[in-house]
Chains A and B, each alone.
Chain A
Amino acid sequence: MTHRSFFWFVFPTLSAMMLFIALPIVSVLIQSLHVEHEQVLVVVESCGPFGCTQTMDIDHEATQALRDEQPLGRFNGLNTYINRSHLAFADISEAWQTKATLTEFVQSIMNLPFYRALAFTLTYTFGVTPFVLVFGLAIAVGVNNLPKLFKGPTIFCSLLPMMVTPLVGALTLFWMVDGDGVIGATLQYLFDDPALSLKASASLTWIMLIVYGIWSSIPFSFIVFYAGLQTVPKDILEAAMIDGATKWQRMWHVVVPHLMPLLIFITLIQLMDNFRVLEPIIGFSAQAHATSLSFIIFNDLNESGYPLFASAAATSILTILGVAVLLTPVLIRTWRDFHRKSH
């Protein structure tokens, strides 16, 4: 294909990606270096029967004019990154000096919004993925052994948790585990504690969200593993059987190694997708105990009145850096694949 025709073929898709994915990243970077204007203050003298007092008041008109003139705000350098809502270096070093024990130190860090969100995001990402792999494989093997008649309907039901909108899936589960819902009420009955609520404690909230994450991601790993099982070479399995390998040995030494590339593929996709967890927190209204990086960006942008663009942008850049770290192995792998194919 000539360069010229290649250019015209990729032009629409490339310009869409440049305009709405690459440029926004630049825009986020610029926004993160600026900060909202301070409100313009004026001295107002109010005179009453007992003399005059001077008070500071906000000049709304002037503030608005300034905002309209420079919507980006004023230049702030890296200050947004190191303030209390983000990396909070000052607070960390203060906590390091004043807190006596390590536990107290960790506790005080977990009160900082960014680190709280980061802790949940990482726990969620690395908590969900292993379960998804194990359960997905177990179900794939189980379905593979079902009579053919049942396979279709089984796969249909299995796909549902992944296919439904994350917010809708989260709400569906939330209404069941909520205090008045069927599972929530049953738990209260079982533990004989009418005040038991999964929303009340931080650890229960985290577990609830992670269970949701596993539930909604199992179908993906199940389907991929199921497809992989169809391609396991039969002669190797038979050879292993002739050599006297038991079921478990065949599973562990033949099937699992064969599925290894798929396992890596699922892990990488899962890490990327779980890192951006947002909807479950909104669906479960769990923000009191669990916030994620995406959620604090969403929250900043939803700030009633005037969205906190700078704060959201700084968190976005930090999130993108996190994604870059997660993505490095994928890129290296793809790079190697490409070289293997081209040589």
Chain B
Amino acid sequence: MALTVLSGFRPLVMVSTGCVILWLLVAAFPFLWTLWGSFKVQADFFSKADWTNALFGVNTLRETGGSFTGEGYSGAWVDEGFWKAAINTMIVVFFTTIISLTFGTLGGYALARSGFRYAFWILMAALVFRAMPHITLVSGYLLPFFEWNIWGILPTTIIVLVAINQPFTLWMLHSFFLNIPKDIDESAMVDGCTRFQAFRYVIIPVMWPGVITTGLFSFLLAYNDFAVTAMLLSSENQTMIPAIRSFLGTTQQEGNVMFAVAAVVSATVPLFLLVLFFQRQIVSGLTAGAVKG
């Protein structure tokens, strides 16, 4: 049932609907524009003379013989080796999500089931850690990592991202496990299971909805990270987001901005699909902490 705060009062409904339509335009138009423009040449996408050039691709037609061109994409993916960055991103994101969830599930479960005072202090510490700007942590890593010679490789970045992910994962899974009744694992323990067996055979089968929601956010954090991946990966191990940033420097001078535009669109597509398929989980995850707390 929709809440009827404003219904029945025509002008107000019109104003509020107008607001929503305006917002939708503001929210979605930049992406549509960039997606469309990524198939044009630079003279069209950045057309000072006539903005309709970007829509119809006048210069694209003249330069390439067609209204659409995949030059930006082939330039970015093949010439500039963006495919390598994409593979690195896949590796980093996959392992970060899996390890974060493993650590987070164990910890979140224990925190939800323990009534001890220190459980609360761990959660508080996690909250403080969650607020640390990532770049301040990175400035703490760099020197030791250089010294130990583990700078620039993917495993280091993965474990750092896992750690940065933990506070959020812990809080989310903690509140999720609080909603699973205590009785089911306690009755398993009465039947003779150890704590770990109860977790393994009783909790794991019922925890997937919460784990999937949390996993989405771990994925997003690892995928969207810039501060850690830009500073901790050497140029041959770069993931997509720092790779886009280094494009900016090199392509601007050579007049290949369209490579960067194509790369940006390529990096947006997986997120687009993610929101499309997991909208419900994302919304429930975003609101879980807020509405209950």
Contacts and interface: CB of A to CB of B under 8 A. Distances in A.
Interface in A288-315: 293-294, 297-298, 300-302, 307, 309, 312-313
A228 interface: yes
Contact of B245 (A173, A266, A282): A282
Contacts of B125: 17
B138 A224 contact: no
A301 B125 CA distance: 27
Contacts of A307: 142
Given A165-B241, A229-B3, A276-B134, A160 B170 contact: no
A58 B69 CA distance: 54
A28 B136 contact: yes
Interface string B238-282: 000100110010000000010011001001100110111001001
A71 interface: yes
Given A227-B291, A327-B128, A297 B2 contact: no
Interface string B138-178: 11111110110000000000011011101101100000000
A227 B131 contact: no
Most chain A CB atoms below 10 A, which of B31, B109, B113: B31
Interface string B2-21: 11111101001100110110
Contacts of B290: 224, 227-228, 262, 265-266
B224 interface: yes
Nearest to B247: A171
A168 B241 contact: yes
Interface in B15-47: 16-17, 19-20, 23-24, 26-28, 30-31, 33-34, 37, 45-47
A10 B17 contact: no
Interface residues of A, number: 117
Given A25-B137, A323-B132, A160 B275 contact: yes
A173 B23 contact: no
Interface in A6-58: 6, 8-10, 12-14, 16-17, 19-28, 31
A213 interface: no
Given A229-B3, A331-B127, A157 B264 contact: no
B104 interface: yes
A143 interface: yes
B274 A338 contact: no
Interface residues of B, number: 111
Nearest to B52: A182
Contact of A27 (B140, B160, B264): B140
A17 B127 CA distance: 12
Given A165-B226, A247-B12, A20 B163 contact: yes
Nearest to B284: A227
Interface string B36-69: 0100000001111001001000000000000000
B287 interface: yes
B5 A141 contact: yes
A231 interface: yes
Residue of A13, A160, A312 with most partner-chain B CB within 10 A? A13
9 contacts: A12-B103, A17-B166, A22-B129, A138-B19, A157-B27, A165-B241, A172-B264, A228-B290, A331-B127
Interface of A: 1-3, 5-6, 8-10, 12-14, 16-17, 19-28, 31, 71-72, 135, 138-139, 141-146, 148, 152, 154-161, 163-169, 171-173, 175-176, 178-182, 185-186, 215, 218-220, 223-224, 227-232, 234, 237, 247, 250-251, 255, 261-262, 265-266, 272, 275-276, 278-279, 282, 285, 293-294, 297-298, 300-302, 307, 309, 312-313, 316-317, 319-320, 323, 326-327, 330-331, 334-335, 337-338
